[in-house]
């Protein structure tokens, strides 16, 4: 079953508040740093609302600027959601006029997604098929909670006082990812996926006709992997440590018969070059 997540951009995938502070300082050099942005109408007393949103638009207009970098965890955050079966809609409170700049930025930084939605009414996307909303706006998160949707985001001064309103706030995307995956595990009654390592007999290998399976070879390396089908393999050479998203490490090597379950997300750490027979089922 496909799971759906709606992910914000500003102050979720990148530190938008730093860029906004720089723009606002051009309007009023006395504009306070974002540590003091404890309410939503932060422009009051420092600039007009029109000037404030012109500053926001100026940033979105040049979203693809080389200085506008995503959070270091953003790429892995989205990739792990995708690997765990989530359909990702990137939804940002900005004009559709900035779609091209936004697409360039997402693609340039390897931020995976399935759909991009730019509007000033992102909550219109919230329905019974939405599983998770990730955003920094307390008002957006409250709307998600009202519809029975899991809501979470990064902790900031402007949302800190709302943390008891049915959603969870964290200090990093890594913590948010763990929260989402753990809640998903509880929701669907799952349990950590197990990698099975066995020492097969020659008779078993002959009965399974393992020698006729395709061969895969790989040099010493480290990479993420997701199994969209169950894989069985028999190692002819190599030494490998695989770590699952649950932090479980499994080591195997030459002569081992290994089964990886469908839906498993993990990291392969190849210590010695691998050569294996493999089969998907």
**Tens digit of each residue's pLDDT (9 = 90 or more) over 170-186:** 999 999 998 888 777 65
Residues 6+ apart with CB under 8 A from 110: 75
Q: Where residue 190 falls among pLDDT bands split at 50, 70, 90?
A: low
- Give CA–CA dist 63/99, Å, rounded: 10
Is residue 263 scored above 90 in pLDDT? no
Residue 225's pLDDT band, with cuts at 50, 70 and 90, is confident
Phi, psi of 16 (to 5 degrees): -60, -35
Asked if the model's pLDDT at residue 192 lies above 90, the reply is no
Q: What is the pLDDT of residue 84?
A: 86
Average pLDDT over residues 265-271: 91
The CA-based dihedral angle spanning residues 260, 213, 219, 246, taken in that order and rounded to the nearest 10 degrees: 0
pLDDT for res 244: 84
Give residue-wise pLDDT tens across range 13-62. Answer: 999 999 999 999 999 999 999 999 998 789 999 999 999 999 999 999 99
Q: pTM to 2 decimals?
A: 0.67
Residue 40 has a pLDDT of 78
Cα(176)–Cα(92) distance, integer angstroms: 18
In the sheet where 115-119 sits, what is the strand order? 115-119, 86-93, 3-7, 132-134, 150-154, 168-170
pLDDT tens column, 136-177: 999 999 999 998 899 999 999 999 988 778 899 999 999 999
Domains, the chain: 3-187 (3.40.50.1000), 196-280 (2.60.120.10)
Q: Please, what is the average pLDDT of the chain?
A: 92
């Amino acid at each position: 079953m496909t799971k759906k997540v709606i992910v914000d951009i500003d102050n979720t995938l990148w530190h938008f508040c730093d860029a906004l502070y720089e723009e606002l300082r051009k309007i009023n050099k006395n504009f306070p740093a974002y540590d003091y942005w404890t309410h939503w109408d932060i422009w009051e007393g420092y600039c007009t609302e029109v000037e404030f949103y012109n500053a926001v638009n100026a940033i979105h207009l040049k979203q693809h600027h080389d200085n506008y970098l995503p959070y270091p965890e953003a790429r892995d955050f989205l990739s792990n959601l995708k690997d765990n079966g989530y359909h990702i809609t990137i939804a940002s409170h900005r004009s559709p006029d900035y779609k091209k700049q936004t697409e360039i930025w997402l693609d340039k930084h390897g931020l995976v997604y399935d759909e991009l939605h730019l509007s000033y009414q992102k909550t219109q996307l919230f329905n019974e098929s939405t599983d998770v909303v990730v955003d920094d706006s307390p008002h957006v998160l409250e709307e998600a909670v009202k519809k029975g949707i899991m809501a979470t985001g990064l902790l900031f001064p402007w949302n800190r006082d709302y943390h008891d309103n049915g959603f969870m706030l964290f200090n990093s995307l890594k913590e948010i990812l763990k929260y989402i995956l753990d809640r998903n595990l509880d929701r669907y009654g799952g349990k950590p996926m197990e990698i099975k390592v066995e020492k097969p007999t020659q008779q078993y290998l002959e009965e399974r006709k393992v020698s006729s399976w395709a061969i895969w070879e790989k040099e010493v390396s480290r990479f993420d992997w997701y199994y969209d089908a169950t894989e069985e393999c028999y190692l002819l050479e190599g030494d490998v440590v695989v770590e699952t998203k649950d932090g479980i490490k499994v080591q195997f090597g030459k002569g081992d018969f290994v089964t990886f379950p469908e839906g498993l997300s993990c990291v392969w750490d190849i210590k010695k070059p691998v050569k294996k027979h493999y089969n998907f089922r």
